[in-house]
Chain A
Amino acid sequence: MSIAINITGTIQDWLMNMMPEGVANIVAMVIVALIYLAIFAVAGLYLVLLERRVAAWFQLRIGPNRVGFQGMLQTMADALKLVSKELTGTVKADKFLYNLAPYFVIISSLMALAVFPFTKEFQAFDINIGVLFLIAISSIGVIGILLGGWSSNNKFALIGAMRSGVQTISYELSIGLSLLTMVLITGSLQLSEIVEVQKNGWLIIQGHIPAVIAFMIYMIAGTAETNRAPFDMVEAESELGAGFHTEYSGMKFAYFFLAEFINMFIIAAIATTVFFGAWLSPFGITESIPWLGVFWFLAKAFILVFLMMWFRWTFPRLRVDQLLTLEWKYLLPINLVNIVIMALIVWLNMTIQF
């Protein structure tokens, strides 16, 4: 197993000069973890702000623009408020599981961040089964939701949690299969190699028709996976009040809330990596400046995030049986046929290469 540890390597080399190897390894890991935690917090908070501004823009409103320049500090203030709030809970809740649930959700989304190739160098953990790792990690989050809904001893929360279980298990199939469709072109699950292959054209162009179909299925399933409208059965505020996090307050609620936004970013980032060439610039216009890769990665990811926000603020919510019909009767069969088509295209060398 060859794990290239680019960013970790750089930091490690620098630390090696100062301290013994064992200590340096541990310190390097802590530093990298802290960097990612910071990215996580900042990304989460600013995605919340972005969502609020985008929603306001769709809804003929202005949105938060008072705290800081154009409301830049609004979500910071909100987070501060949530940290300082009392943690209330139900008396008859299963205390252990109730307290554990938010961490499942937040840790799973934090772990997924580690594998993304922000640039060629800026990747903490280039595992050779990257895509598989992402699919596996992103499905841990649902355990947290199920636990939270079950343990809070509230029927609305329980209905929300059960819906979430049904939904996530169904749509994971589509996410996995649509990503596998793209893996057929790259022939590798390692994210850095997937990016290397895309130097001859982004995969969505290389794979043309089946790739576009796979991308559309991926975006639908991804929106469902993050439990956002039009698939927000889990929360469904007009049906279940707040769904699985009805009984959570303060920072525990904030964990669920932040995780939702980070998951949205993760879904967009996977799509960026697998379909749109991760840090590669369009037509290689900034190939000579490698650090601009971060910009391209984030730009692509944010366009996709915006797309998901657009869904949320335009579409009504599906009913729970329609949600399952969509997956099992339409997306899954289309996906399976799509894989066969993609396999034929790869076999017959009909991909578009520049």
Chain B
Amino acid sequence: METTTVNTNFKSEEYFINMGPQHPATHGVLRLLLTIDGEIIKKVDPDLGYIHRSIEKMCERDSYQQIVHLTDRMDYLSSHINNEAVCLAVENALELEIPDRVQVIRTIIGELTRIASHCLWWGVMGMDVGALTTYFYGFRDREMINDIFEETCGARLTMNYNIPGGLMFDIHPNFVNRVKEFIAHFKTKLPEYDTLLTGNVIFQKRTRGVGILSKEDAISFGASGPIGRGSGYSCDVRKHHPYSAYDKVKFKEVLKTDGDAFARYQVRIQEMWESLSIVEQLIDNIPEGDYKITTRAVIKLPKGEFYQKVETARGELGVYIISTGTKNPYRLKFRSPGFSNLSLLNHIAVGGKIGDLVASMATLDLVIPDIDR
């Protein structure tokens, strides 16, 4: 039990406040039930389900090709990587040989998605701590990536570019040039992020030592992605269980040991550099070949259980399929990174101020449809 010293002259009174479901800092329809004493947070109780669409149940109804399209709507900021997770699970279950070309393109677009997602997060992070200008800088660079996606597959956000067995179309002839253009552009703009926000004294004061998460807690709460790595927990799926073309490229797993909001911030900024270098290594040598292999029109998975995990922009996304040999999964479970990451919010926010809660929540990078599914 935690002992607290009580000033007997002044009685403090805890009160309850509803943060959300409509609130600027919850980025969607998350509702936080806060118990506050003055400015100090005593308890955070997230209330979920405002955007629950029973995606997992719908998956039991749909064929495997259709399931891919549903995953776009979970974590809409890394839709390509979500698609990839389902496709990989199906392909591994069927033991298909996927052409190198497909793997490289999937990796390039996956990393671009990660950069786009982190750009948006960076803008929103600044906005949550009060610097509204960052939002527009983040969106400027994200816009270039979205334009590339639009040219490649016609969609900017919910891409549906992956299908079990390959890609829906081949890349656009301009793709390589435009990605190179983006790399050159972003290399000059990423240092700007540091000058605008990272180096700012107020920003560092707001994030250093705020929302501290130890490595042990990170593991026991199931934290993954930049949140786990900000606490020194090496959990990059791309490194430990390489999929697609990640075993062919050199990149560093970014690890920080501080475990505070600033460490998680730095991990994401560093990850953008790493993603850039991955794209740079692959963009010049996309192998020739088919962009998909022909699968049966009706995919039936063999009887059994299949699990595939990938590293989305927010952490580890797992797809767990139980198949009875029919054209639909008997049960399909998504292990979404946002859900586990949200579970530690109470742990890191208690004892801080309202401003600290907002700052640490921003570094968790929550996407509510990903949590509610």
Binding site for B on A (CB under 8 A): 55, 58-61, 155-156, 159, 229-230, 232, 236-241, 313-322
Chain A residues near B356 (CB, 8 Å)?
A: 319
A239 with B136: CB separation less than 8 A: no
Q: List 20 A-B contacts (CB under 8 A).
A: A59-B135, A59-B137, A159-B39, A229-B130, A230-B130, A238-B24, A241-B23, A314-B133, A314-B196, A315-B131, A315-B202, A316-B129, A316-B131, A316-B197, A317-B131, A317-B202, A317-B206, A317-B355, A318-B205, A321-B39
B24 with A237: CB separation less than 8 A: yes
A238 with B136: CB separation less than 8 A: no
Contact (A321, B353) CB under 8 Å given A237-B24, A239-B25: yes
Report Cα–Cα, A159/B136, bound state, in Å.
29
B298 at the interface (CB under 8 A from A): no
Chain A residues near B202 (CB, 8 Å)?
A: 230, 315-318, 322
| Known A316-B202, A319-B356; further 17 A-B contacts with Cβ < 8 A | A55-B133, A60-B136, A60-B137, A230-B202, A236-B130, A238-B130, A238-B358, A315-B202, A316-B129, A316-B130, A316-B200, A316-B206, A317-B131, A317-B202, A319-B353, A320-B353, A322-B206
Contact among B17, B130, B136, B196 with A61 in the assembled complex (CB-CB below 8 Å): B136
Q: Which chain B residues in 101-130 approach chain A with CB under 8 Å?
A: 126-130
B132 with A59: CB separation less than 8 A: yes
B17 with A155: CB separation less than 8 A: yes
Report Cα–Cα, A320/B140, bound state, in Å.
31
Contact (A238, B25) CB under 8 Å given A315-B202, A319-B353: yes
Chain A residues near B135 (CB, 8 Å)?
A: 59
A317 with B129: CB separation less than 8 A: yes
Report Cα–Cα, A238/B15, bound state, in Å.
20
Chain A residues near B39 (CB, 8 Å)?
A: 159, 320-321
B246 at the interface (CB under 8 A from A): no
Report Cα–Cα, A240/B26, bound state, in Å.
11
Report Cα–Cα, A238/B130, bound state, in Å.
7
Chain A residues near B206 (CB, 8 Å)?
A: 316-319, 322
Report Cα–Cα, A37/B197, bound state, in Å.
40
A315 with B24: CB separation less than 8 A: no
A322 with B23: CB separation less than 8 A: no
User: What 4 A-B pairs are tightest by C-beta distance, nearest first?
Assistant: A317-B130, A59-B136, A319-B355, A316-B129
B343-373 interface bits toward A, Cβ cutoff 8 Å, 1 = contact, 0 = none: 0000000000111101000000000000000
Chain A residues near B25 (CB, 8 Å)?
A: 238-239
A313 with B133: CB separation less than 8 A: yes
Report Cα–Cα, A318/B202, bound state, in Å.
6
B133 with A159: CB separation less than 8 A: no
| Residues of chain B at interface, number, CB under 8 A | 30
Report Cα–Cα, A319/B9, bound state, in Å.
27
Chain A residues near B355 (CB, 8 Å)?
A: 236, 239, 317, 319-320
B358 with A239: CB separation less than 8 A: yes
Report Cα–Cα, A318/B200, bound state, in Å.
11
Chain A residues near B24 (CB, 8 Å)?
A: 237-238, 241
Chain A residues near B221 (CB, 8 Å)?
A: none
Chain A residues near B137 (CB, 8 Å)?
A: 59-60
Report Cα–Cα, A313/B130, bound state, in Å.
9
Contact (A58, B133) CB under 8 Å given A238-B358, A241-B23: yes
CB distance from A7 to the nearest CB of B (A): 40
Q: Which residue of A lies closest to B136 (CB)?
A: A59
Report Cα–Cα, A78/B17, bound state, in Å.
33
Q: Which residue of A lies closest to B125 (CB)?
A: A316
B306 at the interface (CB under 8 A from A): no
Q: Which residue of B lies closest to A154 (CB)?
A: B17
Chain B residues near A314 (CB, 8 Å)?
A: 131, 133, 196
Chain B residues near A60 (CB, 8 Å)?
A: 136-137, 140
CB distance from A32 to the nearest CB of B (A): 39
Q: Which residue of B lies closest to A58 (CB)?
A: B133
B320 at the interface (CB under 8 A from A): no
Q: Which residue of B lies closest to A56 (CB)?
A: B136
B203 at the interface (CB under 8 A from A): yes
CB distance from B128 to the nearest CB of A (A): 5
Q: Which residue of B lies closest to A166 (CB)?
A: B39
Contact (A239, B354) CB under 8 Å given A155-B15, A316-B203, A322-B205: yes
CB distance from B211 to the nearest CB of A (A): 12
Chain B residues near A240 (CB, 8 Å)?
A: 354
